[in-house]
Each structure stands twice: as C-alpha cells, then as structure tokens.
A and B are shown apart, each in its own frame.
Chain A
Amino acid sequence: MKILENLFHIIYYGKSCDLNSENMEIEEIMKADKAIILELLRKMLLIRRFEEKIIDVYSVQDMKTPVHLYIGQEAIACGVCVHLKNDDYVFSTHRSHGHCLAKGTPPSILYAEFYGRKSGCAKGKGGSMHLVDTERGIWGTTAIVGGGIPLGIGTALASKMKRDNKVTVVFFGDGAADEGTLQESLNFVSLKKLPVIFVCENNFYATNSHLRARRATDDIIRQAQACSINSLQVNGNNVMDVYNAAKNAVDMARDSGEASFIECKTYRWMEHVGPNYDYIKGCRPQSELDEWIKNCPIEHHKDFTKSMGIITEDDFVDMINIIDAEIETAIAFAKESAFPDTKELFEDVLFNNI
C-alpha cells in the first residue's frame, strides 16, 4: 500500500511524498516510470469497469443508445493517450468510449449522454456513437466507418499551418482500413508531412466480417509502408508495447512534424454492438474468444505490475474499489440528470441558431 500511495501521490500532485531517499534523482525517475505503469493499469481498469457497468445496466432498457464495447482492446487507447497533452486532437469511431476515458473525459458526462440526458457530453443529441469533449481534444466522433480519418488529417494540417505544436491521433479499425479515406489520407500525409499518428486497431473483424473476407493479407501496415510513412506493428494487448511505440510516434510528430502508423493487433470480446457475447449467435468461434481472453491486456499488465513490485493483489483490489465508486457516482449523476426539453430538438442545427 505504501508504494501505491506514493505513486498515486506522484501522479496527482506531481511529486513524491516519500522524501527519505538518498539518491533522489534516480529514485524519482524510477518512481515516475512506476507511476506511469500504474496509471496505465488504472486507466485500463477504468475503461473495463465503465463498460462492465453498461453490461450490467443495459437489460433495464433505459440506456437507449447502441453500445459498441471496447472490452479487450483497452491497452491501445491507454498506451497511446497517456502521451498526449490535454489539447492534442483525438479522432475515434463508433467504438469510442475507451478513447474518451483514456483522454480523461469524466465517466459521468459519457453515461449521461448514453442515457440521453441534457448533461451528456453532446446534450443527448449524439449518444454513444458521437462523443465529444472539446476540453480534452475530442472535437466530435463519427459512426461512419473511415469518416474520422481525414478529419484527423485536417486538424494536423491546421496544426502545421498554425504552428500550435499539437499532434493528432486517429483511431480506427481494420474495417475502416478498407475505406478509400485511409489510402487518400495516407497519401496526403506523406505528401505534406503532418503531425499525425494513425492507430489502426486490428481486431480482425468488421461487424461479423473477418479480415480475410475483406483483404488478401492480415497486415494493414503495408498500406502505410507503400506511402513511406514510418510504421510499426505491435501487440495491441500489451500496453507497454503500445506505450513504447506511441511514445516514439508522438515525439516524432511533435518534434519534427512526422507522421506514423501503428497497427495494433487485438480482439473485441463482446458482440459488435450490444452487451452480449456473439459466439452464441454463431458469429465467431468461442475457442477464438477464449484464446484472446487468456491474452487479456489487463491481466497481462497486472502481472507485469506485480512482478515489478509496484502493486500487490490487495492494492489491485483497492484500485478496483476506488474505480467502482467513481463509476457508481457517475451513473447516479447521469440517471439523476434531466432529459432535454423537447424544444431542444430544434436547437444546435445551425451555428448560433441562425
């Protein structure tokens, strides 16, 4: 518990609360590293518990929005977003809960949006597929597959023109890689040299369609290579691998305005949309899911964190309890929030309502 407390202290107050150490500098660095390792675990758990809560409540049928759960893919959002500044841009997809949470969006305004409340991040207008949090770099989310990719190239272009030193991350799936928007964007980025990081979450399926039904190879990275964009394939279920790849990519984008492409191999555990497993409906083999569950990104990172002596099992349980309490508060906030007034249907159609 001592280490955990101290590391939390570092994360939240920016300094250690343990000042007895002789060799301060190394000690601090090690602690900072440990703090990041721990923060990655905490964020992944937050996303997991956030979505498991959706599974819990969904059958009540008052969360009236289609939910595309991210369970199984948490390492990617967390390993990437931890490198981003608050106002760096993130573009995501229909499956965006994890990206928002990793970027720091409070669970409360997400749940409120899912419940169609006025206090939701899009005032109940958008729902789970159209999340927005401009304070944290999320300037809208599209549910048209591939639609967000060029938007992210556009913000990167603006950053270059404005010299604001921001970077953009575009998250998208293997399905989106089928779309012309990806190839068109890659070409433009290689032409213009823009500060953007393409993060392809290759979970092998687009709805129930396997990658092999849609392309002749498993490797999407080749598309980026063909445009001479710095590219890398990583195990998307290993958060430290994602972290390291993203660190280089973000540094490169920020320091020299160079783009990168990271393909993360991963797996979505739940059905394409909704709170259930889909092997029951015959969409995918259960054995495949079982293999990937064994390869759980959170379990994997938890083991790593334990082996580093950063936490104990008790610490882990404490961490879950803290997160669960946060989630309960967020759900309560959402459910207590008011619905929009029906006249709001006609608001926000045009800028300034002109």
Chain B
Amino acid sequence: MPWTKVFLNNKELDNDGVNKGLRSISYKEALKEAHNLMMDKDERVFIMGEGVDDPGGVFGSTVGLCDKFGRDRVMDIPLAENGMTGVAIGAAIAGMKPIFVHMRMDFLPMCMDQIINHAAKWYYMSGGRVNVNIVIRSIIGRGWGSAAQHSQAIHGLFVHIPGLKVVMPATPYDAKGLLISALEDGNPVMFVEHRWLYDSIGYVPNDIYTVPIGKGVVRRQGKDVTVVAISHMIYEAMLAAKELQNEGVDVEIIDPRSIKPLDEGLIFESIRKTGRLVIADVGGKMVGVGAEIASRVYEDMYGFLKGPVRRIGLPDVPTPCSSVLEKAYYPDYKDIVNSIKTLLS
C-alpha cells in the first residue's frame, strides 16, 4: 500500500519506483488540504486559534486559508485558552464543527477544565443527548532550547480521560485522513501533531478520504521483535530497523496512529508472531502510553512473551534548555536498537 509507507527523506521517495506518478506532499500541506476540503464541503467547519490567520499560518498548516474563507471561519482569538475552548464547545453543542488549534501542546493545560470537565463528559452527563463534535489540534515542540514550557508531550494525560479520543498521526496521509475522520467523528478528538513531522513527505490522495480512528497500521513487517512507535518515534523506529537488518534482526513496526481508542488487536497479533515488544513514545515513560500498552500486553498476552516488554520515552524530568541536556533528554533510534539488542540477548 503506497499510503502506509513511511519515507525517511526525499531521496527514499524518489527511489520508490513502484508508485511513480502518485502525488507526494508534506505533513503540513496535508493538514492544510484537509482543512481546505472540509471547509469547502461543510459550512459548519471553522478554525479558531491564536495566530491561525497570520502569515506563518501555524507552521504552514493553515496558511492562506483565511484569504479563501475569511476571518469569520479562520478566526484569530484573544489569548484566553480556557474560555475560548468553552466557546468552541458551545459552538459544537449548537451544531458547528470547530477545529481549535494550539501552536504548542503546552497551552492545553490552560484549557483542562473545559476539555476534561466539559467536552469529555457532556455526552455522558446529558444521557447521550448532546454530543460535542470538536477537534483540538496541538503540536508538540522540540529543540532549540524550547525548554520546559514549550516542548511538552502530554498526550498521556488525555488518554486518561473517558470521553476523549486521542490521535497522533505520523505521516502526511494519516494527518489528512485522521483530521477528516476527527471532524466527522462526533466526539471531542485530541489531534496531536509533532513539530518535527511537519516537513515529512508521503503519498496523499487529492480528494477527501478518511483514516479510521482506532485502527493502527503495520509500517514494516518483521518476525523477531515488535516495535510500537508513536508519532515522530515511527521515524526513529524505521532507522533502528534499518540498522538491525544488517545484523540479521527483523523488526516489525506498528504505528497505532490513534492511541485512544487503541488498536490492541493489531499489537497482539504482532506479538503472537514475534513474542517481543518495545514501545517507543514521544512522551514521558511515567504512567505514559507505553505503560498502558505494556500492561495490556501483560494482562492478555503474557503467555506469548519471550522477554519483558521494554519502553522508550522521556525521563521523568522537565525539558531542559541547554543543547547538551536536550541531547541527553530525547531518546532516538540508538535507544531503540539497544533496547532490542538487550531483549534479544
């Protein structure tokens, strides 16, 4: 399938002879296209967020949209995250389909009350009478000393909350397809992006299509070990697999794409084959997504495991500024390689 392919760089894409002629675009372009198509199709869709109409256009993902749709539908807002989230939820209650955008995931803590106490529970509290069809986009930052308040990956917090869905697309194809699905879902969907994915490229169809929320995908077939990698860690996992291939280790890589609901069936199936699991997340290990996946695997797949489940993620430390500390802070493909080697030894 061309759509599920991951390309580490432009060269890999150029060398992909089989699919010549298919259109390839970047992650940010795919996002923009999804907004564009859905706003064309459905008048209820609108974007709100700080700076969504500015020349940079949320790192390129909303660029030019306000010229086309006007500032009523591509709405810059006051810096009042919690209140504005409530406004978006209210609009959704009244039948609109807002996309609320945060340039950094770190601004979500400002909106916790409206997201957790309101959006997530409205449907349940109303006995299933009132749903909240809202998409909340946020971008995980990284590097250049972004430090403790501009590079948090706190998707795990939202996974903990019943009533929310959480998706983390890693490729341009999934970014577009999942955004469209999220808009049609009817539930509050936390749509979590990663700044380092914005220039990644891949094949993307021109038209509207959906990627089902809750369905993962096998990025690479292998028989020796399963790596479940999330968001940007997919690319690190691909690098690790390449390196290990030379040493005769065959890595299977699974991208859950959506971490709530989680496609545990796909993960379990892979473990039946490999008996080994490494989970690589862009967030913290402590009570993180890796911990959740690992415990589900222990509960249901214990008999198939040939060794302990291993997790890769951020240490339980805020993000430092200094480049030398940043380097020590973020795991990369080498950590995945080492983890797999330990598991195999």
A interface residues with partner B (beta carbon < 8 Å): 64-66, 113, 116-117, 120, 122, 124-130, 142-146, 175-176, 178-180, 206-209, 213-215, 281-283, 339-340, 342, 344-346, 349
Contacts and interface: CB of A to CB of B under 8 A. Distances in A.
B72 to A, nearest CB: 12
A340 B145 CA distance: 14
Given A144-B106, A340-B324, 6 more contacts: A116-B321, A144-B107, A213-B53, A214-B77, A281-B55, A342-B324
A286 B316 CA distance: 46
Contacts of A339: 322-324
Contact of A215 (B50, B78, B110, B320): B78
B82 A126 contact: no
A117 B149 CA distance: 19
B79 A125 contact: no
A124 B79 contact: no
Interface of B: 50-51, 53-56, 76-80, 82-83, 106-107, 110, 144-150, 315-318, 320-325, 327-329
Given A125-B320, A144-B107, A180-B83, A207 B315 contact: no
A281 B327 CA distance: 31
A209 B80 CA distance: 13
Contact of A146 (B77, B79, B150, B324): B79
A4 B145 CA distance: 41
A207 B320 contact: no
B149 A144 contact: yes
B78 A129 contact: no
B146 A208 contact: no
B79 A340 contact: no
A288 B144 CA distance: 30
10 contacts: A65-B147, A117-B322, A124-B321, A127-B147, A130-B321, A176-B79, A209-B54, A283-B55, A342-B325, A342-B327
Contacts of A145: 79
Given A144-B110, A179-B80, A214-B76, A130 B148 contact: yes
Contact of A124 (B107, B148, B315, B325): B325
Nearest to A116: B322
B147 A126 contact: yes
A125 B329 CA distance: 12
A152 B275 CA distance: 55
A48 B148 CA distance: 27
Nearest to A129: B147
A127 B51 contact: no
Contacts of B83: 180
B150 A66 contact: yes
Contacts of B316: 349
Contacts of B318: 349
Contact of A127 (B56, B82, B321): B321
B329 to A, nearest CB: 6
A170 to B, nearest CB: 16
Contacts of B110: 144
A144 B106 CA distance: 8
B76 A116 contact: no
Contacts of B144: 64-66
